[in-house]
Structure 1
Amino acid sequence: MKMIFLISILFMTSTQPITMILILILTTLTISFLIYLQMKMTWFPMLIIILMLGGMMILFLYITSLTPNKKFIWSNKFLPLIMFTPFLPTIKLNFNSNNFHTISNLLNNNNTLMLTFIMLYLMITLLTITNLIHSSFVPLKSN
């Protein structure tokens, strides 16, 4: 929890878009690791990682192609924040394991048809969007 608090403050104080995206990627990895520790299941955090990091990589490529090459300037105002992070109170999250049984009910035999249709819909949507967008029509950066 301290790490998420520190990352959130770093995100709010950062001014460069590339560092903001890198901080979002670090936040996604941290939160998915915490979800894994609480749920003891790997599919849900892996799904979060794949979805969030896929979107972050697209944003990262787009922003890096548009922004000029700037030198990264490290500010010394983060040093006291990093030094006092171990003294923050520790918050222990206690989740009842009975609450996570409702998540596993999503994969019941009754819901497999719905999940199959959702996956098929998402695949058709993905294929349609990739066919509509060609690199010749939508350049990331004009010459």
Structure 2
Amino acid sequence: MKLILIMAIFLICFNHPMTMLISVILLTLFMSLIFYLNSCNSLFSLILVLLILGGMLMIFLYMVSLCPNMKMNFKKKLGIFIIFPILMEINYIYHKFSFQELTKIFFFMFSNIIIMMMIYLLVTLMVVMKNLNWINTPMKMT
């Protein structure tokens, strides 16, 4: 659960499309891994990965075609922010306190929201693909 929270915070901190895409990919992989471990259903986590990454890649392609090329700048303060969760994880290992029962309670409450997000991304993916086939031109005219 901490990794998902950390990746969500990293997504907010980044401003370059490539780093945002990498952050979304890692966030989706962590979410699908947790869904698989909680439900032992690999089909749900596979559909989650395919739909969210497919939808995000379509949005990423649209963003890249509209924005100019930017140089990637890494923030030094972000390095300190990366070290802090690692230190928290060491403290967590020493105490051996698990929130596994709590995550299983809330897993079923959020599964409906995740399914609705997957349906939304699937519909968005189909609409964008239909519009691109209908127009038959690139998204950005150069």
What is the TM-score when the length of structure 2 is the normalising length?
A: 0.67
Report the counterpart of residue 56 of structure 1 in structure 2.
Answer: 56
1:73 and 2:73 matched: yes
Distance change in 2, residues 1:31/1:139 (3 Å): same
Once the 2 structures are TM-superposed, how far is the Cα of residue 131 of structure 1 from its aligned partner? 7.7
1:2/1:88 contact within 8 Å kept: no
1:18/1:64 contact within 8 Å kept: no
Percent identity of paired positions between Structure 1 and Structure 2: 31
1:93 alignment partner, one of 100, 121, 136: 100
Once the 2 structures are TM-superposed, how far is the Cα of residue 133 of structure 1 from its aligned partner? 4.1
Provide the aligned C-alpha RMSD in A: 2.9
Once the 2 structures are TM-superposed, how far is the Cα of residue 132 of structure 1 from its aligned partner? 8.2
Distance change in 2, residues 1:57/1:87 (3 Å): same
Aligned length: 116
User: Superposition pairs for residues 6-45 of structure 1, below 5 Å?
Assistant: 6-45=6-45
Distance change in 2, residues 1:140/1:131 (3 Å): closer
For the pair shown, which has the larger CA radius of gyration, 1 or 2?
1
1:142 and 2:134 matched: no
Structure with more helix by fraction: 2
2:16/2:70 contact within 8 Å kept: no
| 1:88 alignment partner, SS class | helix
Once the 2 structures are TM-superposed, how far is the Cα of residue 37 of structure 1 from its aligned partner? 1.1
